[in-house]
Amino acid sequence: MRALAILVSVLILAGCSKKQPAESPPPEPPVQPPADAETTPAFERSVSADGIEARVHVPHGQAASEGTLVVAIDFDAGAHYESTHDRDGEITDVWLTDVTADTHPDLVVTTTSSGSGGYGSVLVFKNHGEGWLARTASDLAEDQQAGYMGHDTFAIENGVLVRRFPLYRDGDPNAAPAGGLAAYGYDFASDRWTKRP
């Protein structure tokens, strides 16, 4: 009888000491992106001159290396111009200044391709007073490409869009061109690059 009482006590203690399964912690709420994450453009720049404001942006979600760019131009008088253009490279600069020698500010957008070459491209929006004419500037002429391997930089100097790049000699590594620096100015009327000193 005593043995039976001890056995019952052991079973009772075992039942009391049995661990209850632990409750799972509540799931963490998902991380919410900022409120404007889906509307913030990948690139955006605004420039203004003489009562004109121009905005250039890359739509949200596009890669920096290629895609499109959107140009929106507004006049103080209320006129509006907007267009979308293909883009092969990252936007490097935006200017609103006269580069066609007609006293009207023009919009200039430069891009540089991805990769080690960094080949430049130029989109010019000529303001002719009653609207805008968009043009991708021509490539360098064949004879101007001797020693050319990209690495373009652009600047506006005294109303002229200037393109500079290093010159390579045969055997030069990509990081060490030894042929000096070339400079060319862009003429919108002829759509040509002309050598500068």
Spell out the per-residue pLDDT of the chain, length 197, in tens.
444 444 344 444 444 444 455 566 666 655 555 544 455 678 999 999 999 999 999 999 998 889 999 999 998 888 899 999 999 999 999 999 999 999 999 999 999 998 888 999 999 999 987 789 999 999 999 999 999 999 999 999 999 999 999 999 999 999 999 999 999 999 999 999 999 98
Task: Give how far Cα 175 sits from Cα of 86, 114, 171, 172, 178, Å.
Answer: 29, 15, 11, 8, 10
Residue 151 contacts residue 164 (beta carbons within 8 Å): no
Query: Which tokens hold the place of 108?
Result: 């200039």
Task: Give how far Cα 117 sits from Cα of 65, 68, 145, 152, Å.
Answer: 13, 21, 14, 9
What pTM did the predictor assign? 0.78
Residue 170 contacts residue 158 (beta carbons within 8 Å): no
Distance CA 127, CA 134 (A): 9
Residue 161 contacts residue 154 (beta carbons within 8 Å): yes
Pinpoint the alpha helices (H) of the chain. Answer: 2-17
What pLDDT does residue 131 have? 82
- Residue 69: strand pairing partners: 85
Query: Which tokens hold the place of 174?
Result: 């990509």
Which domains, from first to last, does the chain contain? 35-195 (2.40.128.460)
- Residue 162: strand pairing partners: 155, 185
Residue 50 contacts residue 66 (beta carbons within 8 Å): no
Maximum Cα interatomic distance, the chain, rounded to a whole number of Å: 118
